[in-house]
Structure 1
Amino acid sequence: MRFLSQIFQPVITIPKGAKIKNTEITCKSQKLLLECGLVRPTSSGLFTILPLARRAITKLENIIHSCLEEVGAQRLSLPCLTSAKLWEQSGRMEDIGPELIKVEDRHGKKYLLAPTHEEAIADLFADVGPLSYKQLPFILYQIGNKYRDEHRPKHGLLRSREFSMLDTYSIHSSNDCATNTYSIMTEAYKKIFRSLDLPVHRVQAPTGEMGGSLSHEWQLPAEAGEDTLAVCASCSHTALANQSNTCEKCGKGTDAVNSIEVGHTFVLGTRYSEPLQANFIAQNSSNMPLHMGCYGIGITRLISASIESLSSDKSIRWPKAIAPYSAIVIGPKEGSKEWLGHGFDKVESIARQIEQNGCHADVIVDDRHALTIGKRLMMADRMGYPYIIVCGRSALETPPRYELYRSAEGGAPQILDIHELLATLHKQNKNKIDVEYSEKCVAK
């Protein structure tokens, strides 16, 4: 159990009625993350991720680990610095040049801070290979920081110079095998976004500078998005917007919706294996170039995009699965009548019981008892904790009853005794487990 007074959360308090002029804040997710003490800018496009946001990212990473391990993916870590020579061999140094952050060591050897690792993976298999076709396929993934010299960083974590990213690479002996893995990874991606309960659309996209034969973007509708989707109200088909405004599936009109790209998947073919000589030994004993696929999710971008999509201008709303804490318990104001009858020891007891009934290590206590319940309730709602439990006037009843607020729903609280409260929270957790189990059965 954690206490809110001990959390490093440098909240920015704006006086009521004050007019704030800050042209650098360009969207609500950036504003909320900054004002709620979740991130701190260090310079243009660079941010310190503070403890509560780091906790949300860790939860997201755990969901991703689980979904990828289920499809047989193996985790590895590649260096952030990649030899510039590899990018020259693949031909991408010229294509993406201005976006690359380049460095040189004391011996004059040139490197770059990698925005992605296709060349590094191809070089790895060139170095250890050639492998036998019998050993393939492999799915390898990592989660780490990537770097891009954005011309104009904006929207906070949505477009920054340093960002956390999942990048997954699949290695195959044939295009058919690569396409089959692409389908498997597509289902894994769908499960990740289902776990977050986010309306992410998978749309066909050009392969662009990455190359390859097939590409899909994963787009989350949001007002601040720089991409545009064409959504058909008639057949629900969704695609990247074009000039026709006509649905390619049913021929009817479409609505334009702003969106944020949170993931991208590719069938790369031999685009990187051929120039970097990453081969395998085929069944006929000949050396053949590996077929590759790659799959990315912007971790920090997805955190920000989900807030952008779900939140109001004044309050954060998280996907429940990645809220920094699932529940917060607010006790009475110190010195009040409620405090004398339901003091801090009883507040701690409530929090412990909630932890023991399905919220293990996921409950925080607002122990700032000098503040009124109303003030702390307002701040908890602004932070978007899914469940807010208040020990107020009803806690003096026999038996004591507690107010349960759900930030995502708003409105009046439920007034519950401890058994009803625990049963309600347990039911919510059980529903989550049942959904996950059902998805696992379907996946199998």
Structure 2
Amino acid sequence: MRLISKTFQPLITIPKGAKIKNTDITCKSQKLLLENGLLRPTSSGFFTLLPLARRVLNKLEHIIHQQMDFVGAQRISLPNLTSSKLWETSGRLNAIGPELIKVEDRHGKKYLLAPTHEEAISELLADVGPVSHKQLPLLVYQISNKYRDEHRPKHGLLRSREFSMLDAYSLHQDHDTAAITYDRFTDAYRHIFDKLDLPVYRVEAPTGDMGGTISHEWQLTAAAGEDAIKLCSSCSHTELADGNSQCSQCGKETKQINSIEVGHTFILGTKYSESLKANFVESHGTQVPLTMACYGIGITRLLAASLEALSSETAMRWPRAIAPYSAIVIGPKEGSKEWAHHDFEKVLEVSIRISEAGLEDDVVVDDRHALTIGKRMMMADRMGYPYIIVCGRSTLESPSRYELYQTHLQQSKPQLLTLSELITAITDSRGEEKISVRG
């Protein structure tokens, strides 16, 4: 059973306006992650993810892996270092320029820490190809760290120099078949954000330096966002804010909301495959450049953005599917009357029963029994565990009853439940959550 006393979670208090290791505290997700011991800055734009943040990231990655399996994508791992020559060949070395972190080895060969891998995928297909038209469409993906030399990193994980990202690529014979796969990935993205129950909108966007013919951003509404979208209540159309308050579809007035880009998808055409000679062989033997599409989700950014969307200034609130632990069990204070009746062994028994009811490896026990229940409840609420179970005064009753707080419900009073009722309540609540997810 997981114990809070054994969790590496260095809590800190950040005075208002203070700086920590050259990192300005500029948004609530950054402040909450630092104060609650999930994140630690190392230098400007770089962070250490501590165990509880790593658990959140693992859960996010699991949801993404499920949807990549659903669309039929195969997982690969590409080197983080990419030859500068590839980017020179594609034309992006100078176009993106200052944002690239460049290195040189002892032999004078130049590389860059890749912010994305379109060139590397194209080189891979050119090296093993030309592939047969019978092998298409080919779908591959990876989850890895990416790098961008931000001019001024800020907002913690929302704009950092190193970040975890899903990047997926699909290779096709032509634009029409690419469009079919693009729609499948769109459905997969919707399932991901539905699972997280986050207000994410898909909006048309410029292709920019990436190039291609079609581009969509996935924008999560949040006050701290540096982007903005406009929503039309008349026709439900959503688009990037452009200074015009009218909807491009129906002409009615729209509502503008700040947002954070958490994903981006493109149909790239043959921009990269043509320059890097990534071809396939048609049925009659002709070699033709592959048509490419790519799909990205900023995973560490999504972690922080979800906190921006759901949390208060003082307490974290997570999508229930990715909270560090789904439930925390708080026992009586040591030496109290309740402790004499309901000691640590009984607290562990409650935790095990909850875990066995469907929360395997997702229950943590606050075993700091020298602290009052109130102090530990305050800390658990600040962490945003979806279910807080308190073994308090009602454990003296026969049968013992337990206090259940569900942080997402903002209850004024807890439910008082026997152990079997407690397990049923948590099971039913999680069942409702699963039913609400599309697909």
- Alignment TM-score > 0.5, same fold: yes
Rounded to whole Å, the distance in 1 between the matches of 2:256 and 2:364 is 41
| Residue 66 (structure 1) shift | 0.4
Aligned to 1:389: 389
| Residue 430 (structure 1) shift | 2.6
Letter in 1 for 2:414: P
Letter in 1 for 2:177: C
SS of residue matched to 2:271: coil
| Residue 191 (structure 1) shift | 0.3
Q: Is the 8 A contact 1:224 1:308 kept in 2?
A: yes
Written as runs of structure 1 = structure 2, the 5 A alignment for 1:222-261 is 222-261=222-261
Rounded to whole Å, the distance in 2 between the matches of 1:220 and 1:387 is 25
Letter in 1 for 2:390: V
Letter in 1 for 2:99: E
Aligned to 2:358: 358
Q: Is the 8 A contact 2:178 2:292 kept in 1?
A: yes
Aligned to 2:218: 218
Letter in 1 for 2:282: A
Rounded to whole Å, the distance in 1 between the matches of 2:85 and 2:52 is 39
Written as runs of structure 1 = structure 2, the 5 A alignment for 1:227-376 is 227-376=227-376
Q: Is the 8 A contact 2:17 2:25 kept in 1?
A: no
- Determine if the alignment matches structure 1 residue 178 to structure 2 residue 170: no
SS of residue matched to 2:9: coil
Rounded to whole Å, the distance in 1 between the matches of 2:421 and 2:390 is 14
- Determine if the alignment matches structure 1 residue 63 to structure 2 residue 63: yes
Rounded to whole Å, the distance in 2 between the matches of 1:99 and 1:430 is 45
| Residue 13 (structure 1) shift | 3.4
Written as runs of structure 1 = structure 2, the 5 A alignment for 1:194-205 is 194-205=194-205
Q: CA RMSD in A?
A: 1.1
SS of residue matched to 1:166: strand
Rounded to whole Å, the distance in 1 between the matches of 2:224 and 2:16 is 22
Letter in 2 for 1:21: A
Letter in 1 for 2:54: R
SS of residue matched to 1:339: helix
Q: Is the 8 A contact 1:358 1:429 kept in 2?
A: no
- Determine if the alignment matches structure 1 residue 413 to structure 2 residue 418: no
Written as runs of structure 1 = structure 2, the 5 A alignment for 1:149-164 is 149-164=149-164
| Residue 237 (structure 1) shift | 1.6
Rounded to whole Å, the distance in 2 between the matches of 1:333 and 1:154 is 41
Rounded to whole Å, the distance in 1 between the matches of 2:257 and 2:435 is 33
Seen in structure 2, the aligned counterparts of structure 1 residues 100 and 382 have a Cα distance that, compared at 3 Å, is same
Rounded to whole Å, the distance in 2 between the matches of 1:236 and 1:401 is 47
Structure 2 gap ranges (5+): none
Seen in structure 2, the aligned counterparts of structure 1 residues 19 and 95 have a Cα distance that, compared at 3 Å, is closer
Structure 1 gap ranges (5+): none
Q: Is the 8 A contact 2:18 2:24 kept in 1?
A: no
Aligned to 1:21: 18
| Residue 21 (structure 1) shift | 3.4
Aligned to 1:95: 95
SS of residue matched to 1:12: coil
| Residue 243 (structure 1) shift | 2.0
Rounded to whole Å, the distance in 2 between the matches of 1:163 and 1:434 is 32
Aligned to 2:427: 426
Rounded to whole Å, the distance in 1 between the matches of 2:258 and 2:435 is 33
Q: Is the 8 A contact 2:18 2:25 kept in 1?
A: no
User: Which 4+ stretches in 1 moved above 3 angstroms?
Assistant: 18-23, 432-436
Rounded to whole Å, the distance in 1 between the matches of 2:420 and 2:309 is 35
Q: Is the 8 A contact 1:329 1:388 kept in 2?
A: yes
| Residue 304 (structure 1) shift | 0.2
| Residue 60 (structure 1) shift | 0.4
| Residue 432 (structure 1) shift | 3.7
Letter in 1 for 2:341: G
Rounded to whole Å, the distance in 2 between the matches of 1:376 and 1:13 is 17
Rounded to whole Å, the distance in 2 between the matches of 1:76 and 1:432 is 32
Rounded to whole Å, the distance in 1 between the matches of 2:206 and 2:172 is 22
Letter in 2 for 1:80: N
SS of residue matched to 2:59: helix
Aligned to 1:84: 84
- Determine if the alignment matches structure 1 residue 139 to structure 2 residue 124: no
Rounded to whole Å, the distance in 2 between the matches of 1:344 and 1:329 is 11
Q: Percent identity?
A: 65
Rounded to whole Å, the distance in 1 between the matches of 2:263 and 2:434 is 25
Rounded to whole Å, the distance in 2 between the matches of 1:385 and 1:125 is 45
Deviation digits for residues 296-328 of structure 1, max 9, x if unmatched?
000000000000000000000000000010000
| Residue 238 (structure 1) shift | 1.1
Q: Is the 8 A contact 2:39 2:50 kept in 1?
A: yes
Rounded to whole Å, the distance in 2 between the matches of 1:25 and 1:219 is 23
| Residue 203 (structure 1) shift | 0.2
Rounded to whole Å, the distance in 2 between the matches of 1:54 and 1:19 is 27
| Residue 20 (structure 1) shift | 4.7
Q: How many residues align?
A: 435
